[in-house]
Amino acid sequence: MSGLKGKVDILIGAQWGDEGKGKVADAMGAEVDVFARYQGGANAGHTVIVDGKKIVFKLLPSGMLYPGKLCVLGNGVVIDPEQFLEEVDDLHQMGRDRARLVISPNAHVVMPYHKIIDSAQEAFRGKKRMIETTGGGLGPCYIDKYARSGIRVDDLLDEARLREAVSTILEEKNRVLTKLYGENPLPLDEVYEPAREWGKALAPYVEDTAALLHESLEKGRHILLEGAQGTLLDIDHGTYPYVTSSSTATAGGFSGTGLPVTCAGRVIAVAKAYMTKLGDGPMPTEDKGEAGEHLRSKGEEFGSVTGRPRRCGWLDMVALRYVARLNGCGAVALMKLDVLSGMDEIKVCVAYDLNGTKTECFSGSSYTLEECRPIFEDIRGWHEDISECATFESLPEAAQNYVRYVEERSGVPVQLISVGPDRNQTINRGL
């Protein structure tokens, strides 16, 4: 597209989320001018550790820790105003609100009734529920977006329009709450008044984010589109129905920001050196024994938002190849390689046994994936502590071989390796 001199990198999760995208975005921060989140909401925790201090972003882009950067919450994000204001205040209290932060007026807003419906649905479904939500109301908010009955940030800024919209929507929502879920109806003012105050608080942050991003490209700036969750949770291409409510893959980066696909640059897939998953659904390489517990304990595999223990297992190359092809990945950031230290042998899934037939094809159907049994190859492990390694060459030979194996099997170069949780415990191989 003529006139666009900058570049756009896209950061996606290559597994079921929780891969370490926040650390990768932070590691790239010095070279990036604009950080833009394009989907998801406050259910997606990005953890960054700087100088031993842990900072969890549930909603804000990871670039908030860098001075002089532009941080964008695009139209594809759903905004929980309370969470947004809490995070901004926390950063201010720490003296770390260093970036310029803007919100798209077209982003949808998580309203109080979304959270009540979210929790009520979970209770109603009981053991038959297909997913475990965080109760943050994101699913119901996305439903309203596509039903064309949502409240957008722009609506919060016009009190008369907001009151009329909330009044109309509450008529329907109160019927659902009372007649289907047995909840109490929500009075208009209990919804409208907080929303009106949110509008006042959010107003200074609201700008035409699509126009800002285009302007940034025209000025030759480097934009990083930052996805939440992971590709295997994508609403279209993930392990349906155990998925999230938005497009987590590369394509969502453009619909969620207003940028044209013609400006796409590198797609960076963030993957752990093993696999984790929160909640139910098929996970072919899950290890329910000693190895899985070792990964969970050493990797501190607990949800950054919920605190729930993650299911752990071996790296699934079938899934990684699927994600690389789907997203057009040009680089892999391999996270938590240090967690594998201390193992004599490391397993890697290279294919599935599907009802007696060997296949290297990943299925987005949970019902098919449930029938798949992993076919493993064994890789020699290592016992050395790699947390202080600053170059690829300083890694033990077995660790180097593991990285090369991932590159060979995935067909994508590993250009960043994480050897510990801190910002400085990162080996950059050209990212």
Joined tokens for residue 33: 């001018």
Domain ends where: 244, 268, 292? 268
Which DSSP letter does residue 6 get? Answer: S
Does residue 384 or residue 364 have the better pLDDT? Answer: 384
> Same structural domain for residues 69 and 11?
yes
pLDDT score of 123: 81
Catalytic residue (one of 9, 26, 33, 46): 46
Tokens of 186: 């929500």
Mean pLDDT (whole number) for 277-287: 94
| Number of domains the chain is built from | 3
* Across 46-55, 126-135, 377-386, least confident range: 126-135
Residue 95 above 90 pLDDT?
Answer: no
Contact 26, 65 (CB under 8 A): yes
- In Å, how far are 16, 262, 302, 375 from 135, measured between CA atoms? 19, 37, 17, 36
Question: The tokens of 43 are what?
Answer: 């259910």
3-state secondary structure of 207: coil
Confidence bin at 215 (pLDDT 50/70/90):
very high
Phi, psi dihedrals of residue 430, rounded to the nearest 5°: 110, 15
Phi, psi dihedral angles at 264 (to 5 degrees): -60, 130
In a domain, 235, yes or no: yes
Q: What is the pLDDT of residue 403?
A: 98
CATH number of the domain bearing residue 67: 3.40.440.10
Q: Mark whether 260 and 243 lie in a shared domain.
A: yes
In a domain, 2, yes or no: no
Q: Is 214 annotated in the active site?
A: no
**What per-residue confidence (pLDDT) applies to 1?**
46
pLDDT above 90 for 418: yes
Instruction: Check whether residue 245 and residue 146 sit in a common domain.
Output: no
Distance set, CA 123 to CA 35, 65, 114, 116, 162 (Å): 37, 38, 14, 11, 30
| 277 and 361 belong to one structural domain | yes
Mean pLDDT of the chain: 92
* Same-domain pairing of 93 and 192: no
**Rounded to an integer, what distance in angstroms lies between the CA atom of residue 225 and that of residue 265?**
10
Question: Is residue 272 within 8 Å of 419, Cβ to Cβ?
Answer: no
**CATH number, domain with residue 284:** 3.90.170.10
Catalytic residue from among 18, 155, 316, 338: 18
Among 5-9, 100-104, 348-352, the range scoring the smallest mean pLDDT is 5-9
Q: How far, CA to CA in Å, does 390 sit from each of 54, 338, 354, 396, 428?
A: 21, 12, 41, 12, 9
Tell me whether residue 198 is in a domain.
yes
- Nearest in space to 40 (alpha carbons), one of 269, 227, 223: 227
Task: State yes or no: pLDDT of 113 exceeds 70.
Answer: yes
Quote the CA–CA distance of 135 and 43 in Å, as a whole number.
9
User: Where residue 118 sits, what CATH number does that domain have?
Assistant: 1.10.300.10
Same domain, 261 and 282: no
Nearest-10 Cα torsion for 291, 297, 300, 301: 50
Q: Are residues 224 and 302 in the same domain?
A: no
- Contact call for residues 212 and 101 (beta carbons, < 8 A): no
pLDDT given at position 62: 81
Instruction: Give 124 or 169, the one with higher predicted confidence.
Output: 169
Q: Do 368 and 232 belong to one domain?
A: no
User: Are 318 and 362 contacting, i.e. CB atoms less than 8 angstroms apart?
Assistant: yes
Q: Give the integer Cα–Cα distance in Å for 375 and 353.
A: 7
Same-domain check for residues 276 and 420: yes
- 1 in any annotated domain: no
In a domain, 19, yes or no: yes
Residue listed under structure tokens 């297992």: 313
Quote the pLDDT of residue 73: 97
The pLDDT of residue 306 is above 70: no
Q: 335 and 387 in one domain?
A: yes
d(CA 69, CA 26): 12
* Judgement on whether residues 192 and 264 belong to the same structural domain of the protein: no
The DSSP result for 257-309, as a single string, is T---GGGEEEEEEEEESSEEE-SSS--TTB--SHHHHHHHHHTT-B-TTT-PB
402 pLDDT above the threshold of 60:
yes
75 vs 211: CA distance, rounded Å:
12
Tokens of 113: 């009734």
The domain containing residue 144 runs over which residues? 108-151+158-202
Report the sign of the C-alpha dihedral through residues 57, 61, 66, 70, in that order. Answer: negative
pLDDT digits (tens, 9 = 90+) for 118-152: 988 888 776 555 555 667 899 999 999 999 999 99
**pLDDT tens readout for residues 52-94:** 777 778 899 888 888 899 999 999 999 999 999 999 998 888 8
Confirm whether 46 is a catalytic residue.
yes
* Residues 424 and 281 reside in one and the same domain: yes
